[in-house]
Amino acid sequence: MRVTEGKHMAYSEKVIDHYEHPRNVGSFAKDEEGVATGMVGAPACGDVMKLQIKVGAGGIIEDAKFKTYGCGSAIASSSLVTEWVKGKTLDEAGGIRNTQIAEELALPPVKIHCSILAEDAIKAAIADYRKKYGEEDGAQKAAD
Amino acid sequence: MTDRKMPIYLDYSATTPVDPRVADKMIPWLTEHFGNPASRSHAFGWEAEEAVENARAEVAKLVNCDAKEIVWTSGATESNNLAIKGAAHFYAAKGKHIVTVKTEHKAVLDTVRELERVGFEATYLEPEPSGLVDPAKFEAALRPDTILASVMMVNNEIGVIQPIAEFGEILRRKGVLFHVDAAQATGKVPVDLASLKVDLMSFSAHKTYGPKGIGALYVRRKPRVRLEAQMHGGGHEKGMRSGTLATHQIIGMGEAFRLARLEMATENERIRMLRDRLLDGLKGMEELYVNGDLEHRVPHNLNVSFNFVEGESLIMGMKELAVSSGSACTSASLEPSYVLRALGRNDELAHSSIRFTIGRWTTEADIDFAVKLLHERIGKLREMSPLWEMYKEGIDLNTVQWAAH
């Protein structure tokens, strides 16, 4: 662990890497086919995560993008899950647990809530997808 | 720019480096002249006592009081504790009500809370959105049983200067004791205890280029203010604060305050110029909010909120700058700055605030580097911020239903 300036601010190398080189930052066009959005958190709490997934044929997540307002650990958690959900089915993606995120990023106890938020963001995006397009086979129809 | 000394220190209100001239004066008193100033029977003690008294006179000169009114303590936290608890307990028979302000330092707020626990009553005044306390509201908070008021001269987070002279007049007229925490004021604003109607004033050395671990409390003699000691022992400092005097620390504080008295006028001009340069450099930025009144403010401080950017990620993105964040979101409680909240700033703005405090060794190049870095990093973080995106789309964030977690 590298300790950066400031009290309590101990970040793992992986958090720093994701913070400095965030993966998949951005947004899909609003009307893009197969896109669903999960937005979780609240500005008053200091974290808001927006996770978007783009589901293709066969119900596979083809692409993902995020925007996060939050601390370095929140940014890293959301950046990490955009990588992890790609290539997964909705059910597989929905199975990602916050403990896996926390472990991968070596989050300290005070930052566990960032990993919980990232898990919630995936679930919210999946729920949005199902609301918009029905179940996975609906996506295939939409993609046809 | 890569050969610059990193990070650049812009956190002089947290602490200052000891001025090398101060350090030079201190060292002989650790090794060669190690006597106990309370030793009356030999030359080791005599010379230490003389040096301590010279330092006491230097502290007194900076704030224009009598050296006999200065009591050494371990720092402003102890001074605040001694002043507030000491006066409240001594004058408890007169009344039990204390008035203070929500934006005080924790060393005052927690001390008053402790007094509430043992039976005193307290009013915590809300400042105006500027950070300043309205004298009329201040006066209205006083009760017949108010015995003490405590207001800081300069706020540590936003640097605003309270109208201490006005409060003093009101309190003297009402017969209420007045304690002022001046830890952030020395060397930054003139303090004239001959004209201010202040009864107790706290000082710290390490905010004014002296060492940590030493401070002082001014205790007025005319009219005389009495305190109940909080530290008992050998009866040092006229019984108000027992404990062997830390000669080298005291000498450091005396020299630091002497330099402040001689140099503050020119130094503050230079620092004001740097602060204005920093502010000018940031002015073009969208959704930038200055926290606290800019006019009634020490020149060293600039506290700004960058809307839609979270404070800790901002600090992380500015590791080349040593600054303070108003967001304590690194703690488990996710608490934004209570000072900014008291000004009526919303949680988001409180979370995204940065305090820049400029000092003796800050240069123009440091400021220019900081400005360039801030533009770059805030731009990057905003590109990453869903709140910024929504703002740019014209969505009023106050109308969004957030799922609090």
Determine contact: B403 vs chain A, CB below 8 A. yes
Return the pLDDT at A144.
45
Rounded (10°) angle between helices A112-133 and A72-85: 40
Within 8 A of A67 by CB-CB distance, chain B residues are: 384-386, 389
**Rg of the Cα trace of chain A?**
15
| Between residues B333 and B247, the one the model is more confident about | B247
Q: Which residue has the higher pLDDT, B360 or A138?
A: B360
Cβ-Cβ contacts under 8 Å for B127 (sequence gap 6 or more): B101, B102, B103, B133, B342, B343
Q: How far is B151 from chain A (nearest CA, A)?
A: 28
pLDDT over 80 (residue B405): no
Per the annotation, the verdict on B65 as an active-site residue is no
Distance, in Å, from the CA atom of B251 to the CA atom of A64, rounded to the nearest integer, reads 63
Restricting to A residues 25-84, those with a Cβ less than 8 Å away from any Cβ of B are: 25, 27, 39-50, 67-72, 74-75
For residue B149, the surrounding DSSP H or E stretch is: strand B146-152
Inter-chain contact B331–A120, Cβ cutoff 8 Å?
no
Q: What percent of chain B has pLDDT over 70?
A: 96
Region B94-118 average pLDDT? 98
How far is B120 from B114, CA to CA, in rounded Å? 9
pLDDT, tens digit (0-9, with 9 covering 90-100), for B338-360: 999 999 998 888 888 999 999 99
Q: What value does the mean pLDDT take over residues B287-314?
A: 94
Confidence band (pLDDT; 50, 70, 90) for B331?
Answer: very low
CA distance readout (Å), A110 to A2, A40, A100, B1 = 17, 19, 16, 35
Contact: B313, A74; criterion CB under 8 Å: yes
First to last CA, chain A: 48
- Lowest mean pLDDT of A1-15, B138-152, B156-170, B309-323, name the range: A1-15
Cα(B126)–Cα(A17) distance, rounded to whole angstroms?
Answer: 43
Per-residue model confidence as pLDDT tens digits over A48-87: 999 999 999 889 999 999 999 998 999 999 999 999 999 9
For B1, the token pair is 């720019």
Nearest to A71 among B312, B387, B404 (CB): B312
Task: Write down the pLDDT at residue B4.
Answer: 61
Cβ neighbour number for residue B266 with a 10 Å cutoff: 9
DSSP string, B71-126: EEESSHHHHHHHHHHHHHHHTTTT--EEEEETTS-HHHHHHHHHHHHTT-EEEEEP
pTM of the predicted protein model: 0.89
Residue B324, token pair as written in the block = 């303070």
Q: Which residues, other chains included, contact B163 with Cβ-Cβ below 8 Å and sequence gap of 6+?
A: B132, B133, B135, B296
Determine the pLDDT at residue B404.
59
In which residue are the tokens 């800050």 written?
A: B362
User: Which of A2, A3, A5, A107 is the best mutation test for B, with the most CBs of B within 10 A?
Assistant: A5
Alpha helices per DSSP H over A5-57: 13-20
What pLDDT, in 10s, does the model give residues B246-300?
A: 999 999 999 999 999 999 999 999 999 999 999 999 998 999 999 999 999 999 9
Q: Which residues of B touch A39 (CB under 8 A)?
A: 386
Residue A58: closest CA among A95, A23, A92: A92
User: Tens digit of pLDDT for each residue in B42-79?
Assistant: 999 999 999 999 999 999 999 999 999 999 999 999 99
More confident residue, B315 or B177: B177
Provide the mean pLDDT of chain A: 87
